[in-house]
Amino acid sequence: MRMWNIDPKLLCLQHLMSEHVQMHMAATRINKNQDLLGYIMKGMIEPHNVVKRHDALAQELDDRGHHHKTPIEITVNIKEEGHVDLLKSIKTLAETCPDCRTRILNSIKKENGQ
């Protein structure tokens, strides 16, 4: 499971859909009181932000014309918090995915007025 935590608009469709599925997996594990400590320790997930992140990803899916129909909710108290390093996520995606790299670079150019 991995939460990239970057602006969903910067994700290619594959990473957007994949992270969406992974938020469902995380919510299921949380609701079953299953351990996420390994993911937390590796900086891969923020359990306390799973629903918020899911909703942001779902909105981007809708914005791209992929009609989202799978809401999630957390029905138990979340015991663990985590932290996903945003800069590390951007760097990893830019280095490993040409489509994400293009989206990230275009966003930077747009921010700089280019």
User: What does the domain layout of the chain look like in residue ranges?
Assistant: 8-111
Query: Which residue has tokens 């015991």?
Result: 79
DSSP 31-82: HTT---HHHHHTT---GGGHHHHHHHHHHHHHHTT----------S------
- Mean pLDDT per block of 10 residues along the chain (114 residues) reads 96 97 96 93 95 97 93 89 94 97 93 82
pLDDT number for residue 41: 94
pLDDT number for residue 111: 86
pLDDT number for residue 114: 74
pLDDT number for residue 71: 92
Q: Which of 46, 44, 48, 61 is CA-nearest to residue 9?
A: 61
DSSP at 4: -
Count of alpha carbons within 13 angstroms of residue 56, beta-carbon side:
15
pLDDT number for residue 22: 97
Q: Global pTM?
A: 0.92
pLDDT number for residue 45: 96
85: helix, strand or coil: coil
CA–CA dist 6, 68 (Å, integer): 19
Q: Are 112 and 104 in contact (CB under 8 A)?
A: no
